[in-house]
Amino acid sequence: MNTPTAPADLSPDHAATGSVVTTTHTAAEEAILSLRGISKSFGAVAALTGIDLDVAAGEVVAIVGDNGAGKSTLVKVLSGVHAPDSGTIRFAGDEVTLPTPHASLALGIATVFQDLALCENLSVVENLFLGRELRLHRLDEVAMETRSWELLRELSAKIPTVRVPVASLSGGQRQTVAIARSLLGHPKVIILDEPTAALGVAQTAEVLNLIERLRERGLGVIMISHNMADVRAVADRVIVLRLGRNNGEYDARTVTSEQIVAAITGAADNVVARRSARTSIDPQETR
Amino acid sequence: MSATVTPTAAPADRQDERLADRSGLGGLLRGFVDRLRSGDLGVLPVVVGLAVIWTVMQSLNPIFLSSPNLVNLAMECVPVGVIALGIVCVLLVGEIDLSVGSVSGLSSAVLAVLFVDRGLPVGVAIAGAVLTGSLIGLLYAQVFLRFGVPSFVVTLAGLLSFVGIQLYVLGPQGSINIPFESPLVYFAQQAFVPDWLSYVLAVLGGVALVVTGLAHRRERTRSGLSAEAAVLVIVRGALLASALAFGAWYLNRTRGVGWMVVLFIALVLLLHYLLTRTAWGRWMFAVGGNEEAARRAGINVRGIYTSAFVLCSTLAAVGGVLAASRLAAANQSSGGGDVNLNAIAAAVIGGTSLFGGRGSAFAALLGIVVIQSISSGLTLLNLDSSFRFAVTGVVLLLAVILDSVARNSRRRTGRA
């Protein structure tokens, strides 16, 4: 299901040149989360410059970019780890600040970091409710386990038992647990940082299914990814960052991988395209 | 995979068809073998080790398993056992306290000075000694958290410093005797549970296990989760009650069960409850397993570290009070010698991992019984402390090797 259709035309003319920004549509009025002109510097290094981003409810927005493009910094701004130097963040129409991770969570922005942050020695239930246990002085294990099953069933998660240590789960199952945990706080926007980076083919498909289910539940999903196939399989819009700036916004249904790669690298004549031309094979190989 | 549960009638947690049926006695046994294979050894090594030690010691000297010796053994376990309970707490968060011996020695000295020299009421003297321990724990936590000094260095420094303070507190004479008629010494040497009460307590223990087990079972069934068979719960309670009653009967043939032993078991049960049934306990395991994950989950990681260090030093001080009471004196060697290592060895032998995130309160109880059995057995053989130190050292090493091997095995089979 997540095999994207190969672009018919291989000619590089189709690829957007780096300077041209193709904006397909902006959803500012319906956006649940909306960033305008976000900048962030670390000393002399401008990590983010004037970033705009909109996410609507029930929409999957992919953020792609090369190493150092500012993806991680953007995630950290949204999750409240770093405060931006300038720019505005609007959430559900109101202007907000995100000074701490807690503030971000309380507002309804949940982040699943790439390392998942699970305690391997604790079971699935214990991890899901870590930090928000029910009945602190006499843990309500039964209620927590029941709620865990409900949540995992809603996500059609394939986890056979919730009383095993997370250490015994596969990568995809762990990703599922981490995502399920972020859903416990009833977020409106969920940020997934490289959700498929460490996963095999089947597990990647599972996580992509899960992302589609999040969209069906009406959540705004921001997905950071390196993987063009994954991005085009589930995203509605693709936003390209390059050197800390917006470098293109595409409709995921119509954009080609070459266009995205061109925007990521900043030129149609880039190393990926050259390699693709030299080996002259199916462009899917270049992903 | 022989028998899978049908999805329609199965409880919410047994619906996955990949789950093997582990209900009934056969399932219980298969699950047990599975866990052993994957390196989840639980209490098995300790129980086997204890059986071996008791058999060897009994064959070398028939007095070993006699009632008077076991009465004494049980009492001897308590002071270091209480200290080991604290060690379990710091090991759970992946840290260590090497100074519990000196802290217990200082606590003994403070108790003796306040109670004997200053003539303060016994309650005040105990409170003073225990509070000294708490403050030391707080100091360790501050140095550890503020300056990031590794816990083994902080506590190694404390090991030396607090021996110094202990010598200073004891003054020039270096030893203070606690009067035999004082409640302290009476409690630690003479106070035994009446025979009838020991049986009542044994039965109550079994009944409590059954009542909580059945309540838990009812709650799970009501919520549509799988639950143990009621028969198993009752059989387990009955087994516990009979084991406790048999132990009490055997000890009652001579002096009986000391109140100090009851205090120790009560502390073990309390810590077990705190570690397994409260959010604080859950967070201790979380911090020991993955500190960063715990922090991101919104857990007050500094608070958890502080609570672990304070609890450890406090329990070390309580152990010091009990040791001084049992000896009827506090002197320069209180808390010295092998107290430190025995406490740490007990926690590790009982199954608490040195790598953090694994362990239980019962580890301290089981571990100290092993340590004291070796110590008592070798003393009965008229072997001096040189042998005792060497043998205890070897047992500790074996326990740590077992811990490391089991950890690797758990990794291989994906259980931690």
Tokens of B270: 């309390």
Nearest CB partner across the interface for A139, out of B279, B292, B357 = B279
Cα separation, A79 vs A197, in Å, equals 20
pTM of the model: 0.86
> Which among A121, A131, A159 has the least Cβ separation from residue B289?
A121
Cα B139 from Cα B131, distance rounded (Å): 12
Q: What is the mean pLDDT of residues B315-332?
A: 96
- Asked whether B140 and B313 are in contact (CB, 8 A), the reply is yes
One digit per residue, the tens of pLDDT, for chain A of length 287 reads: 344 443 433 333 344 333 334 444 444 447 899 999 999 999 989 999 999 999 999 999 999 988 888 898 999 899 888 899 999 999 998 999 998 888 888 899 999 988 888 999 999 999 999 988 999 999 999 999 999 999 888 888 888 889 888 988 888 889 889 999 988 888 999 999 988 887 888 888 888 998 999 999 899 999 998 888 889 889 999 999 998 899 889 998 888 888 888 888 887 677 777 787 777 655 454 44
Here the tokens at position A156 are 């059609």
pLDDT digits (tens, 9 = 90+) for B3-59: 444 444 577 777 776 776 666 667 777 777 777 777 666 678 788 889 999 999 999
The neighbouring-strand residues paired with A39 are: A86
Q: Measured between alpha carbons, how far is B16 from A158 in angstroms, rounded to an integer?
A: 8
Record: contact B293-A102, CB cut-off 8 A: no
B286–A122 C-beta distance less than 8 A: yes
Per DSSP, A3 falls in state: -
A58: helix, strand or coil: coil
Short-list B307, B314, B309, CA closest to B282: B307
Nearest chain B Cα to A163, which residue?
A: B13
Backbone Cα Rg of chain B: 23
Q: What is the mean pLDDT of residues B301-321?
A: 97
Answer yes or no: are the C-beta atoms of A83 and A99 closer than 8 Å: yes
ipTM field: 0.87
Question: What CA dihedral angle connects B38, B31, B288 and A141, to 10 degrees?
Answer: 160
- The phi and psi torsions of A176 (rounded to 5 degrees) equal -60, -45
Cβ neighbours of A138 in B, within 8 Å = 277-278
Q: For the segment B47-71, what is each residue's pLDDT rounded down to a tens digit?
A: 888 999 999 999 999 999 999 999 9
pLDDT tens, A109-160?
999 988 888 999 999 999 999 988 999 999 999 999 999 999 888 888 888 8
CA atoms of B36 and B9, how far apart (whole Å)? 31
CB contact under 8 A, A168 and B12: no
**Rounded distance, CA B220 to CA B227, Å?**
6
Question: What are the chain A neighbours of B217 within 8 Å (beta carbons)?
Answer: none
pLDDT tens for B107-143 read 999 999 999 999 999 999 999 999 999 999 999 999 9
Quick: pLDDT tens for B220-279: 999 888 888 889 999 999 999 999 999 999 999 999 999 999 999 999 999 999 999 999
Contact between residue B325 and residue B85 where contact means Cβ atoms under 8 Å apart? no
Are the beta carbons of A192 and A221 closer than 8 angstroms?
Answer: yes
Q: Burial of A244 by CB count in 10 Å (0-12 exposed, 13-18 middle, 19+ buried)?
A: buried
Pick A139's closest partner by Cβ from B19, B282, B293: B282
Asked if A273 contacts A262 with a C-beta cutoff of 8 angstroms, the reply is yes
